[in-house]
Every structure is written in structure tokens, then in C-alpha cells.
Structure 1
Amino acid sequence: MAWNAFKLCTGLRVVGSVMILVVLAVVSVSYYAIVVANYGPDLFKAGYHAPVAALVIVAFHLLLAMVLWCYFAVVFTDPGSVPSDWKPASANEEDMEAQNTLLSSLPANSAAVLTAPTTQMSTSLDSPRMRFCRKCCQFKPPRCHHCSVCGRCVLKMDHHCVWVVNCVGARNYKAFLLFLFYTFLETSLVSLSLLPHFIAFFTDADDEPALPGTLATTFLAFVLDLAFALSVLGFLIMHISLVAGNTTTIEAYEKKATARWRYDLGRRKNFEQVFGTKKLFWFLPMYAEEDVRRMPVFKGLEYPVRSDMEGQEF
């Protein structure tokens, strides 16, 4: 009996739950270092300390609110799954009969059916114009992929993220990008705000020596937030390039470098495919009702293609 390594993927769900606690722990340490230990007391000092502290604390709370909003939007928003009754518009009676034959044969010999695509039935379902998932036993819409961690097909799947215990797909990709964006701003703000205290930690330049616990928290918050800022910046740059080309992480590895991407509509329209057309909603993890109603991309089942590639097989 063959050993299935993908069974280990289910363990990532447990890891993801721990990651949520890690995120909340970093937020707590940063909050204590900024608000309680350093800039909160400065609000009651004379001179320029009070207005600077007020500015830092207000900016910190605004960005923190956006980080948490976007983060939990990714965590609790279903990235999109294939409706049980969905089928391609081009599916004919032969294709549907092949699917029904496959489904009816599962209880008796599921392993053979799922691993032996050599019959005439399998050839029909594996044709370029038809995409069929042998694990979910259903047709797959364009840009849909199966996630071994979630155990289902995800619409416009980008990747499975252990940090959010969820897949990043059609319906929560915008929230994920905004989470990266606001996290970079927040961690950068914390790092810059704590930099003078971090320097004073090594130079003994602080006129009022802080308590050991405050020094330790400040040091830890600075190091963690700086590390997060640099790492998130790399992911943010990568995903900006993906949005500019209207592709996903999986598609970037799958498509040929020399082939023209059928979903590349130009940078402006590519951006709107993810963030919508209403500017007021670009920086919020939500969409205008008009965009959801008018643009099929937000349902995750249909996607506009380049005008010069319409009607071509893919």
C-alpha cells in the first residue's frame, strides 16, 4: 500500500491555530511597548513629547485596527468553493455521463478510479477544455485548484496560508493583500518609534533608566517588528507583481514564461479584478455592492480574458 505524504498536510491546521496565537502575542508585545511602556507616559510630559506621543499612539491604533480587521477577514472569509451543481458551459452529455459513471463507481473501487486515468471516461474528463478534480470528484472552474490541507477545491486559489488557518483564494485575496500592506505599515511604525529607545538600550543615553521589564519588552518588540516588516515587505512586493499580471502564486509557477497570459487585461483592469472599481473600497477588506453584482470575478467562477484570446482553448 502506497504511503500518501499529503495526509501530513492536515497537520498544518493545528500549526495554523498556533500561528494565530503567535500573531496575537506579537500584537500584545508591540502594544505594551508603544502604548504602556514608552509613549503613553510621554503624553503627560511637557514640551514636544506630548504631541509626538499622541501622534504615534493615534497612528498605531488606526493601523492596528486595520491589521486586525483585515487579518480576521482572511481567517473567517471562505475563499470560495465549487458549488456542487456547477458544470462548465461547454460540458456535453458525454462529459456528464462520464462524471456520473465516475461518481457511481466510487464506493466500490474509489482508489482505482482516482488513480488510474487511462479509460475513455478519464480521457474525456482530462481534456484541456474540461478540468476535473479526482479528489473532489467534480468539475473545476477556471483558475480553481485543489488544496490538500483543506481537502477541497478552492476558487482562484493562491496558496494555503498557515498564518491564517485558511486558503487564500478568490473571495479573501484582497483582504490578504491589505493585511500584508497594513502589517508592513504597522511594524514599520513600531520599529521606527522604538528605534531611539533601542539605541538608548545599548548606549545608556536615556536620562531616565527604565525598569528591566520595560527594557526587555521594548527590545523584543523592536526586533520582532523589524523582522516582520522586512519579511512582509518581500511578500508584498511579490504579490504586487502578481496582481499587476492578474495571476496567482500557483499560476505563476504553472504557466509558461513565453506564453501570453489569457487573463492579463492590463495593469489597471488587473488591479480592479482584485480590488474592485470603487476607490473608496480599495483600502477596506470589503467590496461595493455594485462591484459584487456587476463583476463575475468576485463570484470566483468566471473571469474575463484578453480580447485577442477570446474563444481559444486553454
Structure 2
Amino acid sequence: MGRPGYVTVPILSVLAAIGYVYYTTVFLAIPAWLGLATAAGITNTAAFTLLAAACVATYAVAVSRDPGRVPAAFVPDFEDVESPIYEIKRKGGDLRYCQKCSHYKPPRAHHCRVCKRCVLRMDHHCIWINNCVGHENYKIFLVFVLYAVIASLYSMVLIIGGAVHSLPKDEQPGSDSSRTSIIICGILLSPLALALMVLLGWHVYLIIQNKTTIEYHEGVRAMWLAEKAGNLYHHPYDLGVYENLVSVLGPNILCWLCPISRNIGNGVRFRTSYDIPLSDTTNVMHTR
């Protein structure tokens, strides 16, 4: 694997896939079905071009944006009444400290073995962007996946229409090769669209519960341990569906699906369900 932010083979593969789908949709499927000179052809070409451009732009930001660095001077502040929760290690009960980075880890931060550093609110490391998905680029990553799903489904409709209207007896030069290319693209696009929809659904599920992928897997174990001890487990960052959405997508609902990223907070401190105004009680959460 290459260094985070650098162009790698998976990144080139994604860009090549976008280019291939765009070419087949705009230059083969639309002309075969609607024609490029018609109002319908021009409208669909313009709409799909804008959608493809949005996909490339958001993908580029997800690749290049730093997911969030832990401040070098970060130290947990027990006297901060606005942060009544701290994550501690399951073994020993010590504050989370990264031996490799030689600094304390804020809540929800984890060390990435690929990026070789701790990442704020780390969700996972994605080889397709050669970068971690974390506090600073999570929303833009999610918006990219959303746009990619819409573009894939849109392309599928146009490709199916183009394939159906490419009559076998069409004697125009190159008609057979165009029809074959349209069909091949449709076959390759089907599993890709399905995978993207599953990925989008997974992250929508996580956002609704205000969890990261890492926290989901940690929560499964925590829930099992709690049930074993006769207790109930509650994810401490679950603030309710609306507040969970706001914490990731931003306070302006009209901008939730826009290709912009206005992060809530600094990624070092997060609201929790344990927050009690003017409380001097410190809660802890066990983590890895």
C-alpha cells in the first residue's frame, strides 16, 4: 500500500471505473436510446455529467483530506465539567495512551497501522481512498458514496434503455460493438451498484446510532459482557436519531447532502448521553 493521500492502484481503479461508466452511458447508451441531439438526450447527458463530476470531486476530497490528527499537546482534563466521560482501557483501567504515537488518545480516536498514526473518530481505513475515514472526512466520504449510488442507478436505467433500443438488425457501422459494450458495462455495474448500496445502508445505520465501524464491533462485545453480568449496555454517544444525524451531517438540514463538510466540534471532545450540566461526576467508558 502507498502512503495516505498518495495515488495508488485502487484509486486509479476507481477513477477508471468512473470514466468507463461515464463513457458508456453518455456516448453509447444515451445516443442508442434517446439520441444526443434530442431534448431528452441533452438533458440526461447534462444531468449525468454533473452527477459524475460531483462523484469525482467528492472522491478527490475524501482521498486528499486529512481524517483528523490528535493534537500533540492533548491530555485528558478531568476538571472540565463539560466532558464528564473518559475512555479507559479494559485491562488495568488506565487512560488510553498510544505507545506508538507517544500521546494520549482522545475519545473515539484509534491508531491506524497503515497511516501509522492516531486518527480522530476513526471509522476505518479504506484502501479505495488510501486514507482513513475519520472526523474530518467522514461526511464527504458518505456524500461520495451517496452520489455514487445515485449515479450507478441512473446509469443502469440509461444502459438498460440503450441495450433494449439497440436493435440487432441495426445496420449502422459499429452498432454491434456499441451494443456489446453497453451490455458488458451493465453486467459489471450491477454488482458495483449493489455493493455501494450496501455500504451506504451500513453507514446510514451507523450514523443513526452515532457509532463508527470500530465502535460497532466494540459494542457487540460490550453488550455481550454486560448481558453476561446481568447489566444493560448503552452506547454513550447515542443522543437520539436527530442529534446523531446533526453530529455528523451538520446543523443545517438543507446542507446534509451537499458536497461540503462542516465538522461539529474539534474531534477531541464529543457530547454523550451522560452529559449533565454543572455535574462534577466523571464517567468512564471501557474501550480497547
Cα RMSD of the aligned pairs, angstroms, is 2.9
Of 127, 150, 162, which residue of structure 2 is paired with 1:162?
A: 127
* 1:43 counterpart letter in structure 2: L
1:313 paired residue among 262, 265, 284: 284
Q: Please state if 1:43 is matched with 2:24.
A: no
Q: Following the alignment from structure 1 to structure 2, what is the Cα–Cα distance between the partners of residues 305 and 195?
A: 48
SS of residue matched to 1:80: coil
Larger RCO (alpha carbons 8 Å, 6+ apart): 2
For the residues of structure 1 that align with 2:90 and 2:274, how far apart are their CA atoms? 27
Cα offset for 1:204?
Answer: 2.4
Going from structure 1 to structure 2, the CA distance change for 1:209 and 1:156 (only over 3 Å counts) comes to same
Deviation per residue, 1:161-211 (Å, 9 max, x gap): 01001000001000111111000000111111010333466x727575744
Q: Distance in 2 between matches of 1:124 and 1:221?
A: 49
> For the structure 1 residues 87 and 161, does the alpha-carbon distance in structure 2 shift closer, same or farther, using more than 3 Å as the test?
same
Counterpart of 1:17 in structure 2 is: 8
2:60 alignment partner in structure 1:
72
> Does residue 208 of structure 2 align to residue 220 of structure 1?
no
Task: Give the stretch that moved more between structures: 15-24 or 180-189.
Answer: 15-24
Partner of 2:149: 184
Cα drift, residue 287 of structure 1? 3.8
What is aligned with 2:207? 243
SS at match of 2:8: helix
Q: Structure 1 143/14 Cα, relative in aligned 2: closer, same or farther at 3 Å?
A: closer
- State TM-score, norm by structure 1: 0.75
CA deviation map 1:63-101 (0-9, x unaligned): 11221121111101100011111111139xxxxxxxxxx
Return the alpha-carbon distance in structure 1 between the equivalents of residues 180 and 8 of structure 2: 27
Q: Secondary structure at the match of 2:284?
A: coil
Q: 2:249 aligns with which of 253, 275, 284?
A: 275
Equivalent pair of 2:5/2:63 in contact (CA under 8 Å): no
- State how far apart, in whole Å, the 1-side matches of 2:243 and 2:174 are: 53
Change (3 A) 1:124 1:177: closer
Aligned counterparts of 1:287 and 1:11: Cα–Cα separation in 2: 25
Hey, what's the Cα distance between the residues in 2 that align with 1:259 and 1:194? 48
1:137, distance to aligned residue in structure 2 (A): 1.6
Relative distance call for 1:82 and 1:253 in structure 2 (3 A) is same
C-alpha separation in 2, matches of 1:189 and 1:29: 15
Residues 222-271 of structure 1 show CA distances to partners (whole Å, capped at 9, x for unaligned) of 22322211110001111100000000001100122351011000000000
Choose which of 42, 59, 69 in structure 1 pairs with 2:47: 59
Partners of 2:172 and 2:122 in 1: how far apart? 52
Of Structure 1 and Structure 2, the greater helix share is in 1
Q: Across the two proteins, how many residue pairs are aligned to each other?
A: 261
d(CA) in 2 for partners of 1:162 and 1:12? Answer: 11
- Which amino acid is 2:284 matched to? E
1:26 aligns with 2:14: no
Return the match for 1:133 from 98, 102, 107.
98
Structure 2, unaligned stretches of length 5 or more?
Answer: 80-87, 224-231
CA contact (8 A) 1:128 1:313 kept: no
Alignment match, 1:85: 73
Structure 1 pair 252/60, CA: closer, same or farther in 2 (3 Å)? same
Aligned-residue identity in percent: 32
Distance 1:57 1:134, change over 3 A: same
- Paired with 1:76 and 1:276, the residues of 2 have a C-alpha distance of 21
CA distance in 2, matches of 1:124, 1:270: 25
Q: What is the alpha-carbon distance in structure 1 between the residues aligned to residue 134 and residue 120 of structure 2?
A: 6
Equivalent residue in structure 1 for 2:159, among 194, 207, 219? 194
CA 81–13 in structure 1, closer or farther in 2 if over 3 Å, else same: closer
Unaligned runs of 5+ in 1: 1-9, 45-49, 92-122
Structure number with bigger Rg: 1
**Alignment partners' CA distance in 2, 1:14 and 1:261:** 32
Q: Find the residue that maps to 1:313 and give its secondary structure.
A: strand
Decide which moves more: 299-308 or 153-162: 299-308
Q: Secondary structure at the match of 2:236?
A: coil
